[in-house]
Amino acid sequence: MQVDALRGGWPEEVLTGRYWFQTYGGTMADEVMSDVAGFLTLGLAEPETSTKLKITDASGRPMMSVRRRSAPGIQAIGTRRNEPWITLLQHKPQAQAQQPYLLRRMRAQLTDGRRTIRSRVRRAGREFTADWRRINPRPLQIWDILDNRMNRIIGRLAVPIDVPSARWAIFGATGRPAAMLHVEPGCLTVRVGARPVAQFVKIDRTHRVDVAGAGPAGLDPRLVLACALLEYAHLSDV
């Protein structure tokens, strides 16, 4: 998608400039102020000591907030209307067994009269571990990128294969590889082929995202935002 088609809806910083992921709260000073507020309001004020992550412009003005603990996935929420702009939806593999099947296998091991009690318990434990993983498989490191305002999947992030320096592979809306996020000295770099098009740099408590090169390289800047969102969402407690 051309960057011009996104103008009018997205902040220019997200499309062609720089923006920052910045944490708020979670410090000792915040805890003290929260206690004072609770005392002055006779406990009516809710404590605000959790760390929040916001996406800001160069002046520190919040453009979006990050939420990772609310369904359906990791979200960037616009500050003006409090509506999600981007959501990352993690793939979850289907369970390969049912719980009754697991219990039958464990019961069969525990009641096997040919073995000692210690052996029965050990074998039942192995059956439990193996089948529990089938019932509750680990989520896959694959994330669909949903543009909430268009209600459309615009890309995907996945762990790259056989690329040691790459942290995430970025795919476009058609499913074709679009770019990769590489770990480099002092920064993370998004590359289209060998061409660097965006950089993530840590500066004190903030993380600066420079996306100026994405549009000219034909990379949808929303995919860079999604990649940065996945990279830094763990900094948020909400």
Residue 34 lies in a domain: no
Structural domain span for residue 174: 3-23+53-92+139-235
Residue 45 lies in a domain: no
* pLDDT category of residue 66 using cuts at 50, 70 and 90: very high
Residues 203 and 228 in one domain: yes
Residues 160 and 71 in one domain: yes
Residue 17 lies in a domain: yes
Q: Is the pLDDT of residue 38 over 60?
A: no
Q: What is the mean pLDDT of residues 207-230?
A: 96
Separation in Å, CA 10 to CA 115, 223, 238 = 67, 13, 24
Q: What is the mean pLDDT of residues 57-76?
A: 92
Q: In this structure, what CATH number is given to the domain that contains residue 198?
A: 2.40.160.200
Kindly report, residue by residue over 104-119, the tens digit of the pLDDT: 777 788 888 888 888 8
Residues 80 and 179 in one domain: yes
Residues 80 and 106 in one domain: no
Higher pLDDT, 152 or 109: 152
Report how far residue 148's alpha carbon sits from residue 146's, in angstroms, rounded to the nearest whole number: 6
Residue 211 lies in a domain: yes
Tokens of 236: 């948020």
Which of 80, 114, 135 is the last residue in one of the domains?
Answer: 135
Report how far residue 187's alpha carbon sits from residue 177's, in angstroms, rounded to the nearest whole number: 22
Q: What is the mean pLDDT of residues 13-35?
A: 77
Q: What is the mean pLDDT of residues 211-238?
A: 95
